Amino acid sequence: MAIEKERIDALMNGAVDLHIHSGPSLHPRKVDHIEVMRQADEQGMRAILLKDHYYPTMPITKLINDNLGFKAEAIGSIVLNNPLGGLNPSAVDYALKQGARVVWMATAHAKNHMDHEASKPGFKFPQNTRKTVAPIPLTLTDDNGVVRDEVKQILDLIAEADAVVSGGHHHVSELFPFYEEARARGVKRLFLNHPTYVNECSFQDITALVGMGVKMEHSICMFVESTFKIFDEDHLKSVVDAAGVDHTFFGSDLGQMKNPDPAEGMRQIIAMLLELGYSDDDVRKMTSTTGAELVGLAA
């Protein structure tokens, strides 16, 4: 069934997207940071998060918020890949004190991610436009499965700042001790992106992680027509059911070439969720409320 434009418009009003890959970037990008802010503002969105795998975005988001007059808010973040020193407490300390709200553990430079790229032909992930030095593979735990000391220090800094943390692209076997350590150290804002993608979580793993207080963010680009589409509607319903509507939210994970713009991706997932029978209230939770609460946006 076709979903009325007005119904999608109403749900876009106040929507929050915590996973946008705009440019400039070493990965090819369709839209830049200012353009995605303009699009979000035109759609009535409440906030979007700018994410780059290789540099922190909070200086950019501060400039946008202070100077460009958008009603939508830009949220800054940091991803702990090699260019930031890997799992580097100093990088996290400085980023949080300059306004970053979300910290990702390693993504492209997680050993688990690199193993996927090496062993799975067709693994879908953007490639750098220029050759870079060989990355050092990163893990959250040591050979005995114990969370590394530098990761513990990072978690202490996140707890002190009441910031948000994601386990990045590390394997599910690393994620359970990681989130357990995060909780023990007082981190209250926990989430995991695309758990059934590179992290290799089962539906049972999702349920167990939610039981530990971890929210689940699913990447819109993996469900709508895009170069990254890998999941169907049955998978969509299954991942929502595994976590529950109250613990599920969606980020576009868009901004790449040949894909829908992030705001358009959000419109498409809203339509898809409505077509699957979720109520407007449930869709609003999964595209607005839960994300807003996670990053501490005022009610």
Per the CB < 8 A criterion, the answer to whether 74 and 47 are in contact is yes
Q: Percentage of the chain surpassing pLDDT 90?
A: 91
**Does residue 101 have a pLDDT over 70?**
yes
CA distances from 23 to 13, 84, 197 (A): 24, 18, 23
Q: DSSP class of residue 221?
A: G
Check residue 129 and give its pLDDT. 72
Say whether 219 sits in a helix, a strand or coil: strand
Those residues whose C-beta lies under 8 Å from the C-beta of residue 210, and which sit 6 or more positions away, are 216, 242, 243, 244, 247
Mean local confidence (pLDDT), 63-81: 98
**Does residue 99 have a pLDDT over 80?**
yes
Check residue 128 and give its pLDDT. 67
Q: What mean pLDDT, rounded, does the chain reach?
A: 96
**Does residue 120 have a pLDDT over 90?**
no
Q: Percentage of the chain surpassing pLDDT 70?
A: 97
The H or E element spanning position 16 is strand 16-20
- Crossing angle, helix 149-161 and helix 172-184, to 10 degrees? 50
Check residue 122 and give its pLDDT. 64
Check residue 124 and give its pLDDT. 63
Q: CA 76, CA 66: separation in Å to the nearest integer? A: 13
**Does residue 253 have a pLDDT over 70?**
yes
**Does residue 62 have a pLDDT over 80?**
yes
Q: What tokens were used for 122? A: 């067709």
Per the CB < 8 A criterion, the answer to whether 277 and 256 are in contact is no
Q: pTM (2 decimals)?
A: 0.96
Mean local confidence (pLDDT), 251-256: 96
For the chain, the structural domain boundaries read 5-294
pLDDT digits (tens, 9 = 90+) for 283-293: 999 999 999 99
Mean local confidence (pLDDT), 30-45: 98
5-294 CATH pick, 3.90.190.20, 3.40.50.2000, 3.20.20.450, 3.20.20.140? 3.20.20.140
pLDDT digits (tens, 9 = 90+) for 123-134: 666 776 788 899
pLDDT digits (tens, 9 = 90+) for 155-184: 999 999 999 999 999 999 999 999 999 999
pLDDT digits (tens, 9 = 90+) for 1-21: 688 999 999 999 999 999 999
The H or E element spanning position 249 is strand 248-251
